Amino acid sequence: MFGLGGKKHKEVSAAELQTLLANGQALLVDVREVDEFAAEHIAGAVNMPLSAFQPSQLPDAGGKQVILQCAGGKRSGMALDKCAAAQAVIDTHLEGGIGAWKAAGLPVTRG
């Protein structure tokens, strides 16, 4: 997916993300709004809605790769643009968002 100014964001597939999470190598940040996150989310994800997203407020990843995620990839791309503008090192998101995760038959936590 292309961000602002034509910069390409790094993407991981649902299968790649599943492996990273299972191995404790990734911190997943869900940038969907609170109600969307409450309805369903990927287990272990941290919610930081795009509407209030500030790269400086990202949690300490403890050496893990930070990966952003939304519903389909657009909002996480926008959050990555904010990270780039703030010179944050976060540059990766889930290709296709939670929609791709579910399409791959991977589980979500509801409620």
Full domain range(s) for residue 82: 4-110
The one-letter code for the residue type at 29 is: V
pLDDT at 3 over 70: no
CATH code assigned at 45: 3.40.250.10
Query: pLDDT, tens digit, for every residue of 48-88?
Result: 999 999 999 999 999 999 999 999 999 999 999 999 999 98
Domain count, the chain: 1
Q: What's the confidence (pLDDT) of residue 17? A: 98
At residue 68, φ and ψ (nearest 5 deg) are -95, 155
Q: What's the confidence (pLDDT) of residue 72? A: 96
Distance from the Cα of residue 68 to its chain's centroid: 2
CA dist list (Å): 11 to 4, 38, 89, 95, 109: 15, 24, 14, 5, 22
In 3D space, the residue among 73, 71, 79, 67 whose CA is nearest the CA of residue 20 turns out to be 67
CA dist list (Å): 51 to 24, 40, 82: 28, 18, 12
Torsion (CA) 11, 32, 57, 10 in degrees, nearest 10: 10
